[in-house]
Amino acid sequence: MAAVVLEDFYKPFFSKELSEKQTYFFMKATVIITGAACLGMVYVVEKLGAVLQLAMSIGAIANGPSLGLSTMGILLPWVNAKGALAGGFTSLIFMAWLCIKAQSMISSGDLAFPEKPVSTEGCHYHFTPKNYKGFAGSPINLTDIMHTDEEYMFYRLSYLWYCLVGTFVALFVGMLVSFVTKPNDPRDVDPKLLAPFIRKYIKSREYPNQPEDSIIYAYGSPKQSHNATRAANDKISELPMTNLNGAPNV
């Protein structure tokens, strides 16, 4: 990490070259600061709940908008640059707000996910509610659970759905902004940038020779590509063969 910080963050932005001694102290300081930050994050993560949920929630902040932008690029040719930019930023902000708000509510105890009751002790088809332990380990009764469901229903969405939610937000906003600000004409889009099954339904205006399915040939057609490859191989075979010392083989 210290070498990465030195090569990618210091050298590109500072023209002054560091001496060997300065480089040594710079990397040592980077290691100390990075280590202290990692140790400090341990106490933060401890208050935020399960590590897997936290990692996937943070990843969904970027993965959802990224998937939405990629989907707009290969499946929705009428989405323009303004729509894609607005959709990506809106999805990024929305997912960041959703993830941060949900994690803060979990850490404060306002949002809890109690375990399901599994005991069948004294089972006569007449169960009485028992106290459950919440996500943070504090006891929660049935009244608190029902109140939490009604007040924070939106934040109780599983973190496994965050990426999909971010994708749909990006797609919806991107298409809406594109139609408001004049969408692209699909016929003006290079078919090489679209998914193969989308090309079949779009007749390009500027690119009449559409590629065959998902195969894009460098010389226009399979026959031309084959002939060009064969000609290149013939030229290579005509070159004189030499040994390792550079002298021609006898």
Question: In 3-state terms, the chain is what percent helix, strand and coil (to 5)?
Answer: 60, 5, 35
Q: Does residue 242 belong to any structural domain of this protein?
A: no
Other beta carbons within 10 angstroms of residue 194's beta carbon come to 22
- Check if the beta carbon of residue 111 is closer than 8 Å to that of residue 98: no
- Check if the beta carbon of residue 27 is closer than 8 Å to that of residue 11: no
Q: What is the pLDDT along the chain (250 residues), one digit of tens a residue?
A: 888 888 888 888 877 888 888 888 888 998 999 889 888 877 776 665 567 777 778 888 889 999 999 999 888 888 998 999 999 999 999 999 888 888 777 777 666 666 666 766 666 665 555 554 444 444 544 444 444 455 566 777 788 888 899 999 999 999 999 999 988 888 888 788 888 888 877 776 655 455 554 444 444 555 555 566 666 666 666 656 555 555 555 5
Quick one: 157 and 57 in the same domain?
yes
Instruction: Give the CA distances from residue 236 to residues 107, 227, 231, in Å, rounded to whole numbers and listed in that order.
Output: 68, 14, 9
Q: Does residue 225 belong to any structural domain of this protein?
A: yes
Instruction: Give the CA distances from residue 70 to residues 14, 84, 88, 126, 174, in Å, rounded to whole numbers and listed in that order.
Output: 35, 10, 10, 53, 12
Q: Does residue 217 belong to any structural domain of this protein?
A: yes
Dihedral angle over CA of 44, 48, 49, 53, nearest 10: -110
The range of the structural domain enclosing residue 11 comes to 1-46
- Check if the beta carbon of residue 83 is closer than 8 Å to that of residue 183: yes
Q: Does residue 238 belong to any structural domain of this protein?
A: no
What is the distance of C-alpha 199 from the center of its chain? Answer: 26
